[in-house]
Every structure is written in structure tokens, then in C-alpha cells.
Structure 1
């Protein structure tokens, strides 16, 4: 177990190139190409493909401002996390850093909340994938498809970390190529340069020709923020995965430095293309989905099936990474004594099998609840984990405020990635996250999500504080 007093020093062991085993017993089986694609694919979730149409309908072209605001927030959070992760790579990432900087109760609380978030996501994504697959092969019932994809990806994660990396490399690769092609082809059509296109090539006219750039008013930008913020969850996965790579510091530094263009191209770029190909209030955007509607306007055939393949890839990628992320967080909690010790055991392949199975069992249970008790138990699980992404980002802000001083005292040479305009930009980011959370309370569509999430978080924090006090009392006696 890595103690609080030697976290920075021991964290360096995993960062030395050429080692096949990390300082925690996890096998360093992720190659640089795996980490690069995990970093790129981590910001492209299924929510980008299926959730953007609602944001466009709510805010019009101004949804670009919403994406830019949330994107900037994620860039700042990733910079803070990158500063800590580059100095001390750890499979527990922000949970391990919160443990040290804010107290054991904080690491315990945010670690378990993050685990809870991802095991619920497993059920959501497994069901979403099953819906697509059932449409292709209706002879197999939806619940069976959900079971199949869960079993396959569980086997992948149990095989080795390199198996997870290889699957994610190809899943993420398909997403990246698809979005990149969409942006390039879309821009050509926007300016009338695409041969054979059905689109009139209106240039940038659609950004203002239907009620202006703010057709629903400037306040709709905040509504848009609430609708898009959760599609960004996953960018932090690379900092957990870096602990199982051959050169964690290099991987984290590279991922942190590239997050700006990744968000710019994949989120802002693709949404910009949709909004310039079609008027924001075109009925097809909501009926077919923003990307399918945009491709239809160009005249590309079979757009629905093409997008189904891409969305299925995004779903499987999210499932794969969700299981990996949940198991590594459970492993880290077990290693720090905040979960059963068996969670911290690795098998001969360097994989935390018990932590994986524990995450899978809860994931399977959540899938069952989604089919058997969709409007009661599953709705509660979904709502009570909905705001965890914002809690994680908030904890990263407060952790980095404390960790900067700790790192500079103990190992200043390891602080190779620094948060810009520290501490002012860190405080500003925390304030923005808090503002979003408060605004959610006054938004009818999101009030239940944030209140239930706060309730569950309060219970977990209370448990963490009680356990922390017991540990302190035991240490003194």
C-alpha cells in the first residue's frame, strides 16, 4: 500500500521507461499508441453523437458557446489533473491525490462515487448497444445482446491490460476517423466544394439566418451547458491508464497538452459543421439526430446505418473504458485500505481480477434493474450518479490547490506540467463548476439529478469521515 508520505516518491517508479511492472503490481502493458488513442477517444463519447440534437434545439447556434464554455472548463481541469499525474502517476488518479491533499475521507468519497458513476454507465451503454444490435438481428432479444456485450468486454479486461488497450485503440480509432471525415466532408459541403453534394453550400449563413445567433436568448447558453456538460466525462481516463504504461509521465504530458485541439476539433468542429449545413431549427436534426441530418443534407446514402455503426463503436468504447476505469478505481481504493483488500490483488497477468469482477457484478445488476425496474430503481441509480462528473472536477480543483505546494516542497523537479495562472484560474474553474451545480438546482429538468447526487455524495462523505476518524483513533492507540 502506498502511504501518504511517500506517494510522490513511489509514484516515480511507475514512470521510468522500460519497466514491465508498475510500483503497484499492475502490469505496464499499455503502449504509447494505446495511450494516445485512449486520450483522443476519451473525449468522444456516445453522448456527442446522440445528445447534441437536444442542445441545438434548446440554444440554436449559441450551443457553440455552451460547448466552448464546458470545453474550456474541461481543458483547465485536465491541466490541473495533468500537473498532479505527471508528477506522481497513480492508478487511483484524482482519488489518490485527494486522499493526500484533502484527507483520507476525500479520497474515499470521490473514489467510490466515481466507481458508482461508471458501473451505472455500464448498464446505460450496454442497453444502448443492445438496442442497435437488436435492430440488426431481431432474432436475439435486447437483454441477450446487453449480456453478450458485457461478457465479451469483461473477458477482454480480464485477459490483460494490453487487451483493453488494443480494443480501445481500434474503437477510438473508428470514432476519430469518423468525426475527422465528417468535419472535412461537411466543411467542403458548407462552402460548396464537395462534388455531387445536395447541400446548397450556404457558407456561414445558417449561423444567423434563423433568428440570429442567439434565437432563444443569451440565457439559453446556460441551458445548453447543462445539456452538454456530461458528454465530456471520460477525458480523465488517460490519467488512470497512464499508470499501466511504459512511460506514464510522457503519456500524461502529451494527453494534457493535446486536450485543447481534441475538444476543438471533435466537439466544436463537428457541431459547427452541423449548424452550418442546416438551419438550427430544421426538424430533421431532432427527428434523425444532428449528424444523420447533416449527412442527409449532403446526400450521402445510408446515413442512418453508417451512424448506427459509429454510435455502436462509441458505446462499446465507453463500455470497455468504463469497466477498466471502475476496476482500477476499485483497485486503488483496495490498495489504500478504503475497499476490501482483495480488490488490490493482481493475478499472474497483472490484472486486478477481483476488482474487475466486483465492478462487473454491480454492472450486471444495473442492467437487470434497467429492464426489470426501469422507472424506479434504475431511474434512482441514474439520477443519483448524474452529477458525479461535476463533483469529480470540483474535487480535482481543490486537490490541485493543495497539491501544488506539497509537490513543490517534496519533488519540484517532477512538476513538469503546470496549471496556468495558478491559483487564480483554478479558483475560477471551481467557481464555474459550483455555478453550474447551483444553476442545476433551479432548472426543473436537472433538479432531481443534482439533489439525488448530492444526497448520495453526502452519505458517502459521512461514511468516509467516520472511517477516517476510526483509522486515526486506531493509529493513536
Structure 2
């Protein structure tokens, strides 16, 4: 007996659904990040305004021994990235260390570190938007800086909303400018120090003749506490790799190259800087790189470096929106954030998570003109220790997850942490020492106490969020069972008619 037309419809709908699913999958495949995107995100993600501008402050307060501060901080980051690389190559996920902390330490750890990380990046996005406005205002003083800040936020909100690929392409070119600047500086600086450039006064002796460690080891450790935040953002590549064509390969490559990236871009550039300009001659209100480029005879060095700092700020704004929205999206999957945050647009982008991650930025643009110093001091200080919290969570998580593995699982790891678990203990001890040093530093102490306050608040809130998530999970399961029952009631009549 031939089925009626109305019963043939489900077959046509299934076919259409299959076609739509195929097109969606094809679209998502095209939208994935490519190896060149990951490579430049890994290279440029570690270079920010904290290097181009902030390095001068570190050098003035530590002296030439700032090299040790950057080297020690860099070594800590290398170890953390190796641990994160082991977990990410074994299981690439967008939530990265939040997901691993949840698996290794419990839901409370994933909830806590995920929200702290999101809060950190939305604060950074707000800060960078204002920096962008101020740089443009210097070039166009007749235009209020808030208009440029707002324009920057709107442009990069749109860029992230368009597609994953648009984020990747934008970050690729912004990072390319930063990397090119550092490479040019290293090349020309080396020629200057070697005396090949006419009029050169650079020398290796500039590092030692003016006192290598004028303020002692305490200043060096204080310097580590400062520069460790310059490296924060290196971990973004592990989140981005989860949305790439070859996630495990991308993470492995980024992890394996982080050593020379830190040595070249940070330790190397600071070393050249110290050889080009004696540390006690660096001006306070000018980028040390702009000052050094001026020594090379480059006309308009300060304006060129302002453009590079602008690029760095735009890059951080772009990547901050990406990492913050992806972390929020990962939190929502477990009920730690509103479920509606999971909604994606046609390009597969979590658009609601992106918009929610921009709210603080738009609010900060307005608040900046009411109480600029108070607002930003609170945002940045209350999230100031997030990097250290993340590093500690990664160290403990990798320790726990490795210990749970069978011998066969350990043998199958594509990337392994060195000297496990001894170097995990070294990282934890270093994090603890840095926090103690910061707590006794009058300028850094507010970051410690406000960050610990934010951590305590999340731990207090977590039980309530967990119960809400559990109720939501039970409601979803009840709805699923009811839907299955409805389907079962309908199926006999369909069979009967057929």
C-alpha cells in the first residue's frame, strides 16, 4: 500500500535537513583557522604594548638586571605552556585550561578560573579601547578621544561577529606588523651595537658599566611579578587551535616554539635595547623603542612607534574579544553562564557571547570620562593576579590528569611535560613566591588583595550556580523524556496508516 503524500513529507524533510547539515559543516570547515593564522597568533600574541612601552618602566626600576626578570618570567611561561600543550594536544577544546581544570580538579575549579579569565580579558578590552582612543586623539586633537575608542570597539566587535576567519585574518595582519617591527629592531640594533651604522655609540659594556644590578635581587623579583603579565596571552593559541584545521599540530608547534619566541622577542629585544641605550638614560615618557630608533637615525621614530603601539593595542583588543567570548561560551555549556550565550549565528560564531564580552568595554568608554583612574585601577587591579592563578591551576591540573592516565595513555601522548611532576612543583613554588613579593610591594599589593577578593567571591557564588545548573539539567532531561514519549505515541498511528 502506498503511503499518503503527507507521510512522504518526512522523507523529503530529512533529505533537506541532511543537505542543510552538509552545507553547515562545509561552511564551518571553510571558516576554521588555518596554520598561518595560528602561526602568527602564536608569534604576535606574545608581543603587546607592554613590551613596546612597559619595558622602559621595568628597566628603569630594575636596571640591566631586567634581563633576568624577563628570563625568569619567560622560563615560567615556557613550563606552563608545555603543561598546557600536553593537555591540549591530547584533547583540543575551546575552553582550554578551564575544561582541563574542571576535569582534573572539579567543577568548582573550571567555574572559578573560567570567570576570572573572562573578567580579565573584558577588562583588558576596555583598557585597550581607551588606549586606542588616546593615540588617535594625539594625531587628531580636534576630535574627542571617546569617538575613536567607540569606533575601535565597534569595528572589532563587527570583525569578531562576521566569522572566525575574519578574526584570524585581522589578527594575522596586526601580528605581522608587530613581528616585523621587532625583527627590524633586532636587525638594525645588532648593526648599531657592532658599530656598522655610522655614529654608533652602542656597546655590550652599556649593560655592565652603569651597574648591572643596582637595586638588588628584590628588584629583580619585583620585575618578574611585572613582566609575567607581559607574557599573558600566550595561551590564546591553545584556544584558537581548537577551531583550526589541525588543532593538535597547531598546539604542538606553538608550544615547541615558545622558547625561542620568548628568547628572541623579549629577552633579545631588551638586551639590544640595553646595549643601544644605557639604562639610566631612558626617558620616562617616551617608548624605549622609539628612543632607540631615534638613535638609529630614523626620522619620526616616536610617531612610527606610536603607530606600532596602536597596532599592538588593536591586536590585543581583537584577541581579547575572541578569548573572552570563547571562554564565556565554554562556561555556558556547563551551565556556569546563561544558556542563551551558546547561540551561534550563520557563520558559527557565538554572537551573544561576543556582545556580552563587549559590554564592559562600552561601559568603560563612558566611565573613563567620569572617573578614569578609579575605574581602570579597580578593573586591572582586581584581575591583576589572574595570570598567576591560571598558571597555578594549569600546573596542578596537568599533575592530576597525568597521574590518572594508564601507562598506555602516557605512552600515547603526542607532547609530554618535562620532568613531571618536579617542574610542576617548581612552577607552583615560583607562583607562590611572586604573590608574596607582590603582597609586600606597596604598588602591587592592591592587585593581590583585590584578586584574592574576586577569587573568594567566585568560590562563594559557585554553590548557588551549581544548584541552578543542576536544576536546569534536570529540566532539560525531563523535557527530553517528554519529547521522546510524544514521539512514541505518534509512531503507532503512523505505522497503522502505512
User: TM-score, normalization: structure 1?
Assistant: 0.90
Q: Partner residue of 1:116?
A: 119
Q: Partner residue of 1:249?
A: 248
- Give the whole-Å Cα distance in 1 for the aligned partners of 2:149 and 2:25: 34
Q: Does residue 363 of structure 2 align to residue 365 of structure 1?
A: yes
Q: Partner residue of 1:199?
A: 200
The answer as to whether partners of 2:335 and 2:469 remain within 8 angstroms in 1 is no
Q: 1:6-405 maps to which residues of 2 (within 5 A)?
A: 29-194=32-197, 196=198, 198-201=199-202, 203-210=203-210, 212-282=211-281, 284-405=282-403
Q: Which moved more, 1:372-381 or 1:170-179?
A: 372-381
The answer as to whether partners of 2:287 and 2:302 remain within 8 angstroms in 1 is no
Partner deviation per Cα, 1:147-189 (whole Å, 9 max, x = no partner): 0000000000000000000000000000001001101100110
Change in Cα spacing, 1:220 to 1:415, as seen in structure 2 (3 Å) is: same
SS at the partner of 1:105?
A: helix
- Give the whole-Å Cα distance in 1 for the aligned partners of 2:356 and 2:469: 24
SS at the partner of 2:33?
A: coil
Q: Does residue 442 of structure 2 align to residue 432 of structure 1?
A: no
The answer as to whether partners of 1:153 and 1:320 remain within 8 angstroms in 2 is yes
Partner deviation per Cα, 1:210-243 (whole Å, 9 max, x = no partner): 1x21122232211211222211110000001011
Deviation at 1:82, TM superposition (A): 0.5
The answer as to whether partners of 2:334 and 2:469 remain within 8 angstroms in 1 is no
- Give the whole-Å Cα distance in 2 for the aligned partners of 1:410 and 1:20: 37
The answer as to whether partners of 1:66 and 1:222 remain within 8 angstroms in 2 is yes
**5+ residue gaps in structure 1?**
1-18
Q: Which moved more, 1:466-475 or 1:299-308?
A: 466-475
**5+ residue gaps in structure 2?**
1-22, 476-498
The answer as to whether partners of 1:132 and 1:312 remain within 8 angstroms in 2 is yes
Q: Give the number of the structure whose alpha-carbon radius of gyration is greater.
A: 2
- Give the whole-Å Cα distance in 2 for the aligned partners of 1:300 and 1:474: 62
Deviation at 1:410, TM superposition (A): 8.5
Q: Partner residue of 1:16?
A: none
- Give the whole-Å Cα distance in 2 for the aligned partners of 1:27 and 1:357: 24
Q: Which moved more, 1:221-230 or 1:306-315?
A: 221-230
- Give the whole-Å Cα distance in 1 for the aligned partners of 2:181 and 2:473: 55
The answer as to whether partners of 1:66 and 1:228 remain within 8 angstroms in 2 is yes
Query: Given the alignment, which residue of 426, 448, 462 partners 2:460?
Result: 462
- Give the whole-Å Cα distance in 1 for the aligned partners of 2:369 and 2:335: 35
- Give the whole-Å Cα distance in 2 for the aligned partners of 1:451 and 1:315: 27
The answer as to whether partners of 2:161 and 2:354 remain within 8 angstroms in 1 is yes
Deviation at 1:457, TM superposition (A): 1.0
Deviation at 1:398, TM superposition (A): 1.0
The answer as to whether partners of 1:129 and 1:312 remain within 8 angstroms in 2 is yes
- Give the whole-Å Cα distance in 2 for the aligned partners of 1:26 and 1:332: 20
Deviation at 1:463, TM superposition (A): 1.5
Matched residue pairs, number?
452
Deviation at 1:308, TM superposition (A): 0.6
The answer as to whether partners of 1:156 and 1:163 remain within 8 angstroms in 2 is yes
User: TM-score, normalization: structure 2?
Assistant: 0.87
Partner deviation per Cα, 1:421-465 (whole Å, 9 max, x = no partner): 000001111110111011111110101111001101110122224
After superposition, the CA RMSD in angstroms is 2.1
Q: Which moved more, 1:323-332 or 1:128-137?
A: 128-137
Change in Cα spacing, 1:475 to 1:308, as seen in structure 2 (3 Å) is: closer
- Give the whole-Å Cα distance in 1 for the aligned partners of 2:424 and 2:283: 37
Deviation at 1:95, TM superposition (A): 0.4
Deviation at 1:468, TM superposition (A): 3.5
- Give the whole-Å Cα distance in 1 for the aligned partners of 2:377 and 2:284: 24
- Give the whole-Å Cα distance in 1 for the aligned partners of 2:24 and 2:124: 31
Change in Cα spacing, 1:310 to 1:234, as seen in structure 2 (3 Å) is: same
Deviation at 1:364, TM superposition (A): 1.1
SS at the partner of 1:444?
A: coil
Deviation at 1:135, TM superposition (A): 1.2
The answer as to whether partners of 2:399 and 2:421 remain within 8 angstroms in 1 is yes
- Give the whole-Å Cα distance in 2 for the aligned partners of 1:143 and 1:474: 41
- Give the whole-Å Cα distance in 2 for the aligned partners of 1:254 and 1:323: 24
- Give the whole-Å Cα distance in 2 for the aligned partners of 1:58 and 1:115: 31
